[in-house]
Structure 1
Amino acid sequence: MLDAICLFDDSNPVTYSVFKFQKLSDLDIEKYRQALVCPACAGKAYYRKASKDGKAACFGSRYHNADCREFKPSAAKEREELHAIEVNQLLVDSDAMIIDFSRQPSQSKARLIKSELAKNELGKHESANEDISQKAKSASASQSVSQSTSQLTSESAALSGHEANARSDAQQATPSKRIAKEGLEKLLNSLMRGSELAESDLWVYTDDKYRWRAKNLFVNFADAEPTENGSPRMYWGTVSHIDKEQLWLNPADTKEVGIPIDKIAEPLKQRFGLNERRDFEGAAIILFGKCFWNKAKTRKIIQLWNNDLNRVFISKSEEN
């Protein structure tokens, strides 16, 4: 995106070209960057500074409408859409879902993009297209079979030791009960592409002890509110930017929330390939954590649960 509309002053929206925006003072950039929207579809937008290796500054959005002229399909976006379809099907086929926080991405982003580009080349040939489609269907079918058979046995046994409500669920875990198991990557991708997960009544287990209705568990940053007794939730959305000291993540979805990373900054950057501040800008993120007010009650804090890196996933933006 070469242009974005700034709604910092609702009564006086201003359209900035990326060239004009990058010439603003650092103070103004920090002030306006969380008020940017796409000029075509009004989807929440972000600003990325120029990189050290010569990549130009740009605007981008993870919230484009599918028919937006600024929306540019890519291998990663296609993967997100596939994950949204798979999760929506999971909601239909499953009675419950367990979040596997230990599950790692199936392959690195670089390998993914390279693989998808190769598929696109093969896509010029009809036979290759059919082969790719069959592989996708086979993978989905294989996963469904695995979730409804082998996982059923092991997860039913795990659920048998739960507290009252979970124990009741375990007793109902008969061979006909279908329990899915998914990692954070697919859940985040599906939420970013508009899956129905955040509105679903599906029971979701965050460990062997606690379960939640999906609609009460998955919370966009814009809707985050401090919970009673610090009860955790799965918070998700996009990152606007990281502060200069790299101690806080600032969600693009709201100006009222901050995510402290001072105790995990370096391992977090290494884990998700966030080599410079620019890499955080426009990144999608999901984390299991608790929301509470700061001491002055001027800002909501979302703290990663036990600072456990297995309970957070970040997907960098593909924009230039």
Structure 2
Amino acid sequence: MLDAICVLTTEAAAEHASSPLRLNPNAQTGVTYSVFKFQLLPEAEIEHLRQHLYCPACYGKAYFRKASKDGKAACFGSRYHEHDCIEFNPSAQKSREEQDALEVQQQLLDADALVIDFSLNPSNKRPSNSALNVNARQEQEVGAKNKTAHDTEPLESVQEPKADYQVAVDKPEIAIMAKRTPSQGLEKLLHSLLRGSDLAKSDLWVYTDDERKYRWRAKNLFVNFADADPTDNKPHLYWGTLSHCDPLMTWLNPADSKDIGIPIEVVKTKLFKQFNITDKRDLEGAGIILFGKCFWNKDKTRKIIQLWDNDLRRIFISTLED
């Protein structure tokens, strides 16, 4: 489990409030903790609260296990789940996403930096790189001739602004860093964000290129759609969930913000093939992360997030499994 409810009895709450070991003035009865937050509490507070944890779904008595020396992540669990509890019988997708979140969270705690591997294949089957490049030029030419209803144009030969990253120029240090810096693909990064990891708030350095030349603070790189700012003129890894698409399936609409659109007409055919999308319903409620830039449409009535160079390696869509 990634979450647990802490329910203190009246007596325990009073004891907690008056205890000299109480280090969190905001602690109260009926608080839901994520395992990521709980493991960062002071040791004395963890020891006090761990006996008052319950499953958030069936309220069975729960426990907290610390991270192990052999690399196992901290977690909540319970041996008292109801037989029909979703935490006791989670879907395969939920289990996979939670495991991804735990893996990324552990990397945040253990690593000095993280490299984003945009070429890493996700768990769902994808066509080969050669297949993704078939007719790419033709598709881009068609997209360039057919502007969308919002009168937006794709970015052309954009580069990451130097104000947003540091450039590593010492090649020997880069080689050493490569040996001890873990890499991660967009799929697990997205799942960790959706499941509440601290990635979007972390000071961890994140490299966005294979040569480890450009690095960003994670808190500056990962931006939820709700916080997208078209005036900052900087690329980010935008993430969140999708509400729906337009009738022609050429625009994606994030659920996190009503005034944002993601144009996909130029890459629609390959994108849908890559993520096995055959119907509008496949996009409803799906998680999404993409590297791109946010800007206003001409009338400044809608924010547009453009996929960087229309590069399909820089986007991942996590559809819901029926």
TM-score by length of structure 2 reads 0.57
RMSD between aligned alpha carbons? 2.6
Higher helix share: 1
Give distance in 1, aligned partners of 2:290 and 2:110: 25
Deviations 1:219-277 (A, max 9, x none): 1111111254x321000011100000111100011101110001111111111011011
Question: CA, structure 1 residues 98+245, in 2 after alignment: closer, same or farther (shift >3 Å)?
Answer: same
In 2: Cα distance, 1:250 partner to 1:265 partner: 14
1:92 matches 2:96: no
Equivalent position of 2:207 in the other structure = 205
CA offset at residue 105 of structure 1?
A: 1.4
CA offsets 1:164-212 (integer angstroms, 9 cap, x no match): 7322596376479731111111111111111111111011011133210
- Residue 264 of structure 1 aligns to a residue whose secondary structure is helix
Q: Helix, strand or coil for the counterpart of 1:167?
A: coil
Match of 1:103 among 120, 138, 160: 120
SS of the equivalent of 2:182 reads strand
Q: Tell me the SS of whatever aligns to 2:305.
A: strand
Alignment partner of 1:219 out of 219, 223, 228 = 223
**Larger Rg over CA atoms:** 2
Unaligned stretches of 5+ residues in structure 2: 1-31, 33-54, 59-84, 127-164
Equivalences, count = 201
Cα deviation 1:126-161 (Å, max 9, x = unaligned)? xxxxxxxxxxxxxxxxxxxxxxxxxxxxxxxxxxxx
Q: Which amino acid aligns with 2:56?
A: D
Supply the distance in 1 between the matched residues of 2:203 and 2:318 (Cα, whole angstroms). 26
Distance between the aligned counterparts of 2:243 and 2:57, measured in 1? 21
Residue aligning to 1:243: 246
Q: For the Cα contact (< 8 Å) 2:261–2:304, is it kept in 1? A: yes
1:185 and 1:217 map into 2 onto residues whose CA distance is 16
1:1-320 matched pairs, under 5 angstroms: 67=56, 73-108=90-125, 165-167=167-169, 171=173, 174=176, 178-207=180-209, 208=211, 209-228=213-232, 230-318=233-321, 320=322
% identical equivalent positions: 59
Paired AA for residue 308 in structure 2? W
SS of residue matched to 1:222 = helix
Tell me which amino acid in the other structure corresponds to 1:95: D
Please state how far the C-alpha of 1:108 moved relative to its aligned partner: 3.9
CA distance in 1, matches of 2:222, 2:300: 23
Q: What is the rounded CA distance, in whole Å, between the counterparts of 2:190 and 2:224 in structure 1? A: 11
User: Does structure 2 conserve the Cα–Cα contact (< 8 Å) formed by 1:227 and 1:290?
Assistant: no
Paired residues of 1:240 and 1:250 also in contact (CA < 8 A): yes
Q: Residue 67 and residue 292 in structure 1: after superposition, are their counterparts in 2 closer, same or farther (change >3 A)?
A: same
What are the ranges of 5 or more consecutive residues in structure 1 without an aligned counterpart? 1-40, 42-65, 110-162
Q: Is the 8 A contact 1:96 1:180 kept in 2?
A: yes
Secondary structure in 1 matching 2:247: coil
Within 2, Cα distance between the matches of 1:316 and 1:309?
A: 16
Would you say the 8 A contact 2:290–2:316 is kept in 1? yes
